Amino acid sequence: MSRNVSPIDGDVYRRPPLPRGERLLLGVPSLLLGVLPTFAPQATARALGLAGVVPAYAVRAAGVRELVVAAAFLRGRSTGWLWGFVGQDALDLPVLVWLLTTGRGEGSRLRRALAGYVAMAAVDVSTAAIQDLVPRRRQRRAAAPLVPSEPSSAL
């Protein structure tokens, strides 16, 4: 049984969807952040100070992942995709910190990129956590249609 279905009355409880403006405010920048690495991975690596350090296919894969999560978030009604953004941050931040601490890449560009990424991660985590605090609304299940009983043939 789904965790959104009450075991007592069978009603469904769902969080209200994010308003369209908030959804666009979070999803469109994410789409834009996925386009550049997907279609210009070497330019993206240079801009981040990672030219020659991170292969183009890894940068492109990160861009595609960003596009997929952003598109699913923008298309879907579920706020669960907010945690998809947080998951991406959880994958990328340790890699960027490791690259910075091991002296790989161009330090000043990498530090600026990391600062921007930490700011975006803070927005992602806080938005997802706040949305999880929104109470779920009760949506009654439709009543089963009444079917006339079969006439008794035992008479």
Q: What is the pLDDT along the chain (155 residues), one digit of tens a residue?
A: 335 555 555 555 566 677 788 888 888 888 998 999 999 999 999 998 898 899 999 999 999 999 999 998 888 767 788 888 899 989 999 998 999 898 888 888 999 989 998 998 999 899 888 887 776 665 555 555 555 556 655 55
Residue 117's H or E segment, with its range, is helix 107-133
Quote the CA–CA distance of 131 and 123 in Å, as a whole number. 12
Contact of 134 with 2, CB cutoff 8 Å:
no
Question: Does a structural domain hold residue 19?
Answer: yes
> 4 lies in a domain?
no
Residue 24 pLDDT? 86
Mention every residue, 6+ apart, whose C-beta is less than 8 A from residue 105.
Answer: 48, 49, 50, 53, 54, 99
In a domain, 82, yes or no: yes
pLDDT confidence of residue 141: 54
Cβ neighbours of residue 106 under 8 Å, at least 6 residues apart?
A: 49, 50, 51
Q: Is residue 90 part of a domain?
A: yes
Domain presence at residue 155: no
The total number of structural domains in the chain stands at 1
- The rounded distance, in Å, linking the Cα atoms of 114 and 116 is 5
Which residues contact residue 5 at a Cβ distance below 8 angstroms, ignoring those fewer than 6 apart? 11, 12, 13
Q: Is residue 131 part of a domain?
A: yes
Residue 4 contacts residue 55 (beta carbons within 8 Å): no
Within a domain: 151? no
Domain that holds residue 57: 12-135
Whether the model clears a pTM of 0.75, i.e. scores above it, the answer is no
Q: Is the dihedral of CA 101, 107, 113, 116 positive or negative?
A: positive
150 belongs to a structural domain: no
